[in-house]
Amino acid sequence: MESVDSNISHLNNYVQIPAVIATALQITKNIMDGLSGAHPILKASWIVLTILYNATQKVEFQDDAVRELAEQLREILAVADAHRNLLLVEGTENVIDEIGRMSLKVSSLVYEYARSNFALRAAKIQLSDELKTRILECQRSCVDLKDRFDRRIAMETNNVAQEIKDSNEEMKRTLATVKDHQLAKDMWKWLDAPDSSPNYHAALERHQEDTFAWFLDGKYYNEFRNNAGFLWIKATAGCGKTVLCSTIIRKIEALRKENPKSLHEKLIRSLIRQLSAQCDGVPAVLVDLYGQGHQQPSIRSLEGVLRHIVESLRTVYIIIDSLDECIERNRMLPWIEQIIFEKHDNLHLIIASRLERDISDTFERPDVPFIDLASKADEDIALYLDKELPLLKNWQFWDNETQREVQSVLRKGAQGMFRWVALQIAELQKCPTRFAVMKQLRSLPKGLYETYDRILSRIDEGDSTDTKIFLRLLSFSIRPMYLNEIAAAAAVQFTDQNEPQFMPSYQYWDEDD
């Protein structure tokens, strides 16, 4: 091999066969040096090329076909030499084998030509047709081999490029975080995001097993789960939007529920808090916004942080329930519309709401998929009735006709509203006779609002003052209130000067009253 190295430097200005063979020798040596173990075919090829080189040094070559054949072999070997990690390229081991075999084949033909009768070549007699045919066939084989090898290398190059691209995309999605427990504690207090877990668990407790199977087993849920995009769940009050949303969250194993409470900003803060909990530390972009915690951020800054966090995570599922209860829908709806327009390829978004005019105007578009929950709820309500009616204290005393009548009337009157059905069952619980049951069925209220009116109208006049206090507390409390807190609140009365004063005589002895 060392003798070839020394001879190559003297051949740069020659185009005769010996120079070409010598270059092929050097390239073959380079390839074998680059392999962890010399390929046996290449080793044999190198030996034959060495013999051929020595045999052709004193021979004059006049036929272009032979020169082209040697040049093609050199080109194939040069391509192989340019890719030093040959064995790492999928599917190239057989190509290495073919390169070695092609070297032997070319060497054989060139050697056969070289030892032809000198007198015939001196007389400029052309190659025999048989030998020339073999040389031309070998040339075609060389071209085919080089093309296949080029394709293999190109495929490997594309694969490497794709891996680099994927790696870069993954790096872009990697969210910088800061691991500081005290900082995190201070920041979560500063962020003041509402806790949605009580609403989530309360809704799950109301979920009747096997209901909403039509959704969870259907195309809309599969689309939401597997593909980024937006789905609007629309329905009137009491149709089970909240329970469905909680069921979806549990289904995708996201253990938090992002109730918007009543403010657009609270929703943004809640989403930031919940998505940050999925990161390994506090997102650096949130730390930058926090600074020293001396001032509250603008809503635009919070939206920017949320967008950055969403874009940095691989997959994000967001379910927003009761959009109609947001008192800042003039800010909320444009923000949601912008998110839908941006079409984040990792964001899966579901929103549930009543059919308010501004919400319908925003989402009722050809490109927005939706589900009308009321039209899908009949089967679920039947399941709910089958489960709840037998729990009535007098159910076992009702004859089959009465039971069928109750189920039929409630199912027809429900119009998709679970809450309405639950309230009517509560009224039927009070019926001691079949006559009372039939009377109740004949005078069922139409819809939830009429049901609520009847409930309020039955409140004793003496209890109306406390009832107003309780309703105000429930309407404006920033979190769900406990029963003992409501009972204690009745003792807070206002003086003639309109100042609050705690009066123990107004306090309930038994909170269950």
pLDDT value of residue 382: 85
pLDDT tops 60 at residue 439: yes
The confidence score (pLDDT) of residue 207 equals 63
pLDDT value for 29:
54
Residue-level pLDDT at 375: 74
Mean local confidence (pLDDT), 37-55: 53
Strand 347-353: give its sheet, edge to edge. Answer: 316-320, 347-353, 229-234, 370-372
151 pLDDT more than 60: yes
pLDDT at 165: 61
Separation between Cα atoms, residue 364 and residue 313, nearest integer Å: 29
Q: How far apart are CA 240 and CA 249, in angstroms?
A: 14
Asked whether the predicted pLDDT for residue 31 surpasses 80, the reply is no
DSSP H helices, 253-324, are 264-276, 284-290, 299-312
Least Cα distance to 75 among 146, 154, 151 occurs for: 146
Confidence of residue 8 (pLDDT cuts 50, 70, 90): very low
Query: What rounded mean pLDDT belongs to the chain?
Result: 72
Length of the chain as a residue count = 513
Give the single-character DSSP code of 504: G
Domain ranges of the chain: 2-170, 189-373, 377-458, 459-513
pLDDT value of position 113:
66
**Spatial contact of 260 and 323, defined as CB atoms under 8 Å apart:** yes
Please tell me the least confidently modeled range out of 153-162, 220-229, 270-279, 431-440. Answer: 153-162
As a whole number, mean pLDDT of residues 480-486 equals 81
Give 51's pLDDT tier (boundaries 50, 70, 90).
Answer: low
With a pLDDT cut of 70, the percent of the chain lying above it is 58
379: which 2 tokens?
């089967």
Q: Residue type for 375, please?
A: S
Residue 340's pLDDT band, with cuts at 50, 70 and 90, is confident
Backbone angles phi, psi at 124, to 5 degrees: 60, 35
Residues 367-403: pLDDT tens digits? Answer: 888 888 777 777 888 888 888 888 888 888 888 888 8
Which homologous superfamily does the CATH classification assign to the domain defined by 189-373? Answer: P-loop containing nucleotide triphosphate hydrolases (3.40.50.300)
347-353 and 370-372 strand pairing = unpaired
Q: Which residue has the higher pLDDT, 228 or 355?
A: 355
What is the Cα–Cα distance from 443 to 206, expressed in whole angstroms?
26
What is the C-alpha separation between 154 and 162, in angstroms, rounded?
Answer: 12
Count how many Cα atoms sit within 13 Å of the Cα of residue 267 in the half-sphere of its side chain.
Answer: 24
- Helix ranges restricted to H, 123-195: 129-173, 181-191
pLDDT at residue number 478: 76
Q: How large is the average pLDDT for residues 484-502? A: 80
Nearest to 157 by CA among 92, 99, 95: 92
For residues 65 and 126, the answer to whether their CB atoms sit within 8 Å is: no
Residue 119: band (very low, low, confident or very high) from pLDDT cuts 50, 70, 90: very low
Predicted confidence band at 109 (pLDDT cuts at 50, 70, 90)? Answer: low
Q: What is the pLDDT of residue 13?
A: 38
Confidence class of residue 190 from pLDDT cuts 50, 70 and 90?
confident
Residue 264 CB burial class (10 angstroms; 0-12, 13-18, ≥19): buried
| pLDDT confidence bin for 336, thresholds 50/70/90 | confident
Pairwise pLDDT comparison (158 vs 1), residue with the higher score: 158
> 1 and 29 in contact (C-beta within 8 Å)?
yes
CA distances from 272 to 67, 279, 321 (A): 72, 11, 17
Quote the CA–CA distance of 417 and 147 in Å, as a whole number. Answer: 70
Span 25-52, average pLDDT: 52
Q: What is the DSSP string of 427-490?
A: HHTT--SHHHHHHHHHT--SHHHHHHHHHHHTS-GGGHHHHHHHHHHHHH-SSPPPHHHHHHHT
What pLDDT score does 4 carry? 38
Give 240-290 pLDDT, tens digit per residue.
777 777 777 777 654 343 334 457 788 888 888 888 877 777 777 777 877
Percent helix, strand and coil across the chain, each rounded to 5? Answer: 65, 5, 30
Residue 44 predicted with pLDDT over 60? no
Range name among 1-10, 83-92, 355-364 with the lowest pLDDT average: 1-10
Q: How many CB atoms lie within 10 A of CB 370?
A: 16
pLDDT interval class at 1 (50, 70, 90) = very low
Helix axes 219-226, 241-251, angle to 10 degrees: 50
Comparison of pLDDT for 20 and 338, the residue scoring more: 338
Q: What is the pLDDT of residue 12?
A: 38
Tokens of 438: 């039939």
